[in-house]
Structure 1
């Protein structure tokens, strides 16, 4: 995705202003000048890829208000974590299409929550169509940074996400290196398999500050290489030729004053960072201000530090603020 640096990526659309992954969140992100948008994809029982942050949807939809689905509430272990709620793999697409989106952080973003209940869930193919339309309307061409979520969990449920993602990308003309496409995942084998399937994209490995990928745990057990090890100079060197870049929690960059970015760049790897949010609740302690968790702190100060580190891409919930800070007028 050879565009301006850093790439400004609308995180689940303009999710600071509208419920995440809703059509209005994406349309607003396009209008605010993003270079790309980031959809997370999970699957339905009948193999339809839908755009949701997680497969557990009680926090981002009105599923709890549907008495016909009360019996679907269950407890499940996803990537080692126990969760109770409603899961996309227990619904058909026809059933999910009856739900409406909700703001995930209503206490912090009450304005966004005022749009609760007004929009349906999107399929991946719907979102890809919206991006194509927006590129024609707004120009230049807008990219997609597609995150594959919980691939090992879905595979165990009989829903292999990799061929489903390949299917939708091929069907919509996004797999041949035409439209700008990045594919990312916390599970590196999902990236390798999609690349082997012939999908032409930039492949980015998501790294947490700690823990291990679910796919490597399933394959290698205690010998699985953890995220922290992959973020070291030696670990980054081992990723060369496997992925094109890494995407890391912004706290990792702020803590080491950009050393990770420099180490990755020395290996020819891209570095993205997540998530840039202006509210005090999400800012580094040095940049928090008065007014409580929902108030905006000195987000510009924090983001300027990230920009100075040389990152190649930033995920932002408020694209207009991201454009102002990361793409200053000179």
Structure 2
């Protein structure tokens, strides 16, 4: 049943107007309770509760020439509901990517609507040195680049983290070219109807989504594949990828140690699998940092150490002055055999003994990701990790599920 018909021209005129950002967000939320169905120059609005996708859909054709949001953000902090700090953090892994293509503006806006404390992203670079939000240095799995015949000659083979990889890479495309690509769902068993509708966004655009939210929402950007990016992209001023990353954060006022007044105003965690990058930026920014940990058998990209060595007491003591926590793959904390949980390691206890937070990844609702002990119930998995293992935050693809669980088990105080 169609409840409203909104003309394309009116929506474009609204978007280009000088309406205050907070009012714009509120109107977006109201208008976009459902994804509009584009037909004959109008968007047909349905009534079920959904997210701000419609206006973003209108921007696909224009996004190469301008950002999704006016920059810098003009949202005011004084009237915003503060970040909750009384329970483990709900970390929206690549946005609400269980519902929408990962690391797109709609995925992040949906995650905020669903209750995320932080929206997480991976930062890479385009050929012309613009920092973008995209998980893989390779574009093949999550964009429609293969359908763009004009880019057929861009296929390359690179060595990435010690392995040869063939495909289309962000470092071989300018931002303008990347903006012509449409994002798509990584997993074929997830909803495919939004494939190709939303573009890759820049680091600046991602930050604006958080700053323009109607409450305080943190950002959780990753310095992704810094060894590869520094090999392939050279900036005219001679600076490194990590320098450009920090410069972007400084431009928007991100600063302050964990739980400081500045941090609570604009919360941020900086993450990376490359410990050398976190050490390198430690003199540039006092924003809190977390060291990501992969499977114990894998070599780190910036050293010859395995993550088994990286999780030793000696290494935790070494990295502690530079970080406030670790972000391990959850199977590194609790090993799995034949889809059943084994005896937990002491990694969480050893981290907590050093006052390091633990933010494991990744929690997903689908049966193929849930171990047998959880009986196909993501709430049981959340309960196990938050109450038995005792972690300090969870990276989830399904922000709404984690939020609903926490509201049932540990609702926030009224003032929050």
Q: Which residue of 1 aligns with 2:31?
A: none
SS in 2 for 1:306: helix
The separation in 2 between residues aligned to 1:126 and 1:154, in whole angstroms, is 20
The separation in 2 between residues aligned to 1:200 and 1:47, in whole angstroms, is 24
The separation in 2 between residues aligned to 1:181 and 1:18, in whole angstroms, is 23
Change beyond 3 A, Cα 1:81–1:283: farther
Unaligned runs of 5+ in 2: 1-82, 235-239, 257-261, 336-342, 411-416
In the alignment, is the contact (CA less than 8 A) between 1:207 and 1:228 conserved in 2? no
In the alignment, is the contact (CA less than 8 A) between 1:204 and 1:245 conserved in 2? yes
In the alignment, is the contact (CA less than 8 A) between 2:127 and 2:233 conserved in 1? no
Give CA deviations for 1:261-295 in whole Å, capped at 9, x if unaligned: 111101111111000101122122433x5xxxxxx
Q: Which has the higher helix share?
A: 1
Q: Across the two proteins, how many residue pairs are aligned to each other?
A: 307
| Higher RCO (C-alpha under 8 Å, 6+ residues apart) | 1
The separation in 1 between residues aligned to 2:308 and 2:372, in whole angstroms, is 22
In the alignment, is the contact (CA less than 8 A) between 2:89 and 2:394 conserved in 1? yes
Q: Which residue of 1 aligns with 2:331?
A: 251
Tell me, yes or no, if structure 1 residue 273 matches structure 2 residue 363: no
Larger gyration radius, structure 1 or structure 2: 2
Match of 1:169 among 238, 249, 252: 249
Give CA deviations for 1:173-208 in whole Å, capped at 9, x if unaligned: 2245441110110001111112222x2311100011
The separation in 1 between residues aligned to 2:86 and 2:397, in whole angstroms, is 19
Shift of 1:2: 7.6
The separation in 2 between residues aligned to 1:126 and 1:216, in whole angstroms, is 32
The separation in 2 between residues aligned to 1:196 and 1:230, in whole angstroms, is 22
Change beyond 3 A, Cα 1:216–1:119: same
Tell me, yes or no, if structure 1 residue 76 matches structure 2 residue 163: no
TM-score calculated relative to the size of structure 2: 0.71
TM-score calculated relative to the size of structure 1: 0.88
Tell me, yes or no, if structure 1 residue 301 matches structure 2 residue 380: yes
Unaligned runs of 5+ in 1: 218-224, 290-296
RMSD: 1.7
In the alignment, is the contact (CA less than 8 A) between 1:185 and 1:204 conserved in 2? yes
Q: Which residue of 1 aligns with 2:230?
A: 155
Shift of 1:329: 4.1
